[in-house]
Amino acid sequence: MIEVVNPEETGKRTLNFIEQIVENDLAAGKNGGRIVTRFPPEPNGYLHIGHAKAICLDFGIAKRYGGTCNLRFDDTNPVKEDVEYVDSIMEDIQWLGFQWDNLYYASDYFGQLYDFALDLIKRGLAYVDDQSAETIAQQKGTPTTPGINSPYRDRTPEENLDLFTRMQAGEFEEGSRVLRAKIDMAHSNMHFRDPLMYRILKMSHHRTGDTWNVYPLYDFAHGQCDFFEGITHSLCTLEFEVHRPLYDYFVELLKGEDNYKPRQIEFNRLNITYMVMSKRKMLQLVKEGRVAGWDDPRMPTLCGLRRRGYTPESIRNFVDSIGYTKYDGVIDVGLLEHSIREDLNKRAPRVSAVLNPIKLIVTNYPEGQVEWNATDINPEDKALGTRDVPFSRALYIERDDFMIDAPADYYRLSVGREVRLKNAYIVRCTGYETDAEGLVTTVTCEYLPETKTGQANAKHKVKGTIHYVSTSHCLDAEVRLYDRLLTVANPAEEKDRDFMDMLNPDSLTVLTHAKVEPVLAAAKTLDSFQFTRLGYFNVDPDSTSDRLIFNRTVSLKDTWGKIAGKRAQ
Ligand code: ATP
Ligand code: MG
């Protein structure tokens, strides 16, 4: 077993490279000892577990070092953004267990950014380009060949000021002009080849309405927003590493004599096997109806994982166990599953559920008699006490727990063989009945009254124990089983394939005839349980008072635990 350490509980974990940087900065007295971070989602989709990695770091650093963490919506592109996403992002961050100190929107700074753009124009550091996006892209050059200067590059500041203010006034069509930084079309870093600062978008923005006709691009917005907010450590994923020099360039021009500036530090993006980790791709799944919505329990979204039965603790522990590095990789989904199993093992009450029921009749047990057997709610936590589980003459057992022609090492039911019925008696199988198709419908057995679980003189031993529910006490339920959404472990490696062609057609199996223990009548939406021998399940929000619906969060089998165990040997 690998040890998943929660630093808040133990303080044992070694510092990651970002915490080390922060501690060095604190030791050097940088920024007067201030630590300010931010989490900057673009509200163009729901958060996924990759974002959880960024959230745990941004909020975690602030918490650990007595700093503050802002939530800043990077709402610079009204085309793709929506308030629905803003609301869901706030809900998901809080569910994960974090609270921002300040709430900001990049659009709060549109005025300041615009003024800064005017300033750069006046300083001869920005110009309006009338060329199309395609032409500008063609002139960019390649990493080994220089680009070509735009014919509009040497416009005077006066002309640029006039054109830019008219762009904002709405005088020009979308796509007809852009504002570019005047840097160097031969620069070895492609991002310095006169990057775009502003484009025209005649779209209503969810916060600023129709105030703006020009919108800043990421590279012109992010660093400046960090600066306006006094961010000390701006943490982001590795793909922004090549943008960092440009981030520093604009911040340097903005800050003037100020000796404070935010520092961008990059860490590795989270990828998990068999998962899509991109809002764009998730949106496509939702739009094309390949999943039931953003919160479909197969989705890697935080709302999907929540609906699936993942707890905030399990996600935080998972993120903590994978750490932060400078190298991109793919994490085995088994590690995420390991983390929820560990958490639910401690907290989930045990119950019996039969997913594919057949009848088991205990022919020598008196008709009408019922025993309510006290059973631990969770053997890992005896303080939770016991529940009473009914045992009677007619039971349901799993179809898998009976075989007509069973091999020798099958320790379940077959005519002539014995098993223990969990927390009740040993039974000996005496026969079975089938329907017209030859499918087993009923199994018969006799119980051995002297073998009751917990009786001191129960010497009679059997190799197998199976679970059951009592037919006259159990409740009907629907159970939804989930498998991987993708058939491919690392979709990024499949260069020529569209991820939509890699979807697993069997990612959802719905069992409509499941039977569960009566105690589940009191279960509430999202409550988690261990179904004995089967796995962890929770109550789906689709459940109604007369129809219980459960999701399988994860099965009991821990492949990761096994792999880690072998590695440790
Ligand atoms: P996507 O590609 O899924 O849309 P994004 O990077 O565009 O993701 P943003 O809303 O811009 O999403 O991200 C907010 C923050 O979350 C950024 O700092 C980004 O670096 C971080 N982030 C996004 N995806 C991951 C990931 N897979 N692992 C770690 N951090 C991530
Ligand atoms: Mg983005």
Options 3.90.180.10, 3.40.640.10, 2.40.240.10, 3.30.565.10; CATH for 353-467 is 2.40.240.10
Q: H or E segment at 285?
A: helix 279-287
- What is the predicted pLDDT for the residue at 458? 65
- What is the predicted pLDDT for the residue at 557? 85
How far is Cα 540 from Cα 528, in angstroms, rounded to an integer?
10
Mutate to test the pocket of ligand 1, among 57, 237, 330 (most ligand atoms within 8 A of CB): 237
Task: Give the SS3 label for residue 179.
Answer: strand
How far is Cα 473 from Cα 382, in angstroms, rounded to an integer?
25
Smallest CA separation from ligand 1 atom 23, residue: 51
Q: Is 42 an active-site residue? A: yes
Residue with tokens 């079309």: 185
How far is Cα 375 from Cα 231, in angstroms, rounded to an integer?
54
Tell me which of 11-20, 129-138, 439-448, 500-509 is least confident.
Answer: 11-20
CB-based contacts of 160-166 (< 8 A; 24+ apart in sequence)? 160/121, 160/126, 160/127, 160/128, 161/118, 161/121, 161/122, 163/128, 164/117, 164/118, 164/121, 164/126, 164/128, 164/198, 164/214, 165/118
Reported as a single tens digit per residue, the pLDDT across 181-230 is: 999 999 999 999 999 999 999 999 999 999 999 999 999 999 999 999 99
Atom of ligand 1 at shortest range from CA of 40: 14
Smallest CA separation from ligand 1 atom 4, residue: 279
> Is pLDDT above 80 for 11?
no
> Is pLDDT above 80 for 559?
no
Mutate to test the pocket of ligand 1, among 38, 46, 51 (most ligand atoms within 8 A of CB): 51
How far is Cα 553 from Cα 539, in angstroms, rounded to an integer?
10
pLDDT band at 82 (very low <50, low <70, confident <90, very high): confident
Smallest CA separation from ligand 1 atom 25, residue: 50
Atom of ligand 1 at shortest range from CA of 55: 16
Write out the CATH class of domain 7-267: alpha beta
| 279-349+477-568 topology per CATH | Glutamyl-tRNA Synthetase; domain 2 (1.10.1160)
Smallest CA separation from ligand 1 atom 2, residue: 278
pLDDT band at 327 (very low <50, low <70, confident <90, very high): very high
Contact status, residue 254 vs residue 224, Cβ threshold 8 Å:
yes
Residue with tokens 């003459």: 393
Question: 3-state SS of 434-446?
Answer: ECCCCCEEEEEEE
Hey, where are the domains in the chain? 7-267, 279-349+477-568, 353-467
The C-alpha R_g of the chain, in whole angstroms, comes to 31
pLDDT band at 456 (very low <50, low <70, confident <90, very high): low
pLDDT band at 562 (very low <50, low <70, confident <90, very high): low
Smallest CA separation from ligand 1 atom 14, residue: 41
Residue with tokens 């993708």: 486
Distance 401 CA to ligand 2 centre (A): 50
Residues 177, 182, 263, 279: which is the catalytic one? Answer: 279
Distance 40 CA to ligand 2 centre (A): 9
pTM above 0.85, yes or no: yes
How far is Cα 84 from Cα 124, in angstroms, rounded to an integer?
41
Residue 454: count other Cβ atoms within 10 Å of its Cβ: 9
Q: Which ligand is nearest to the CA of 269?
A: 1
Backbone angles phi, psi at 174, to 5 degrees: -55, 140
Reported as a single tens digit per residue, the pLDDT across 118-175 is: 999 999 999 999 999 999 999 999 999 999 999 999 999 999 999 999 999 999 999 9
Q: Which ligand is nearest to the CA of 271?
A: 1
Reported as a single tens digit per residue, the pLDDT across 404-421 is: 999 999 999 999 999 999
Atom of ligand 1 at shortest range from CA of 269: 28
Q: Is 269 an active-site residue? A: yes
- What is the predicted pLDDT for the residue at 561? 55
Contact status, residue 352 vs residue 468, Cβ threshold 8 Å:
yes
Distance 492 CA to ligand 2 centre (A): 18
- What are the pocket residues of ligand 1 if the criterion is a CB atom closer than 6 Å to any ligand atom? 40-42, 50-51, 53-54, 74, 236-237, 269-270, 277-280
- What is the predicted pLDDT for the residue at 457? 65
Sheet holding 178-181, edge to edge: 126-129, 178-181, 196-200, 214-216
The stretch 517-533 carries a mean pLDDT of 97
Distance 304 CA to ligand 1 centre (A): 17
The pLDDT > 70 percentage for the chain reads: 95
pLDDT band at 569 (very low <50, low <70, confident <90, very high): very low
Atom of ligand 1 at shortest range from CA of 48: 3
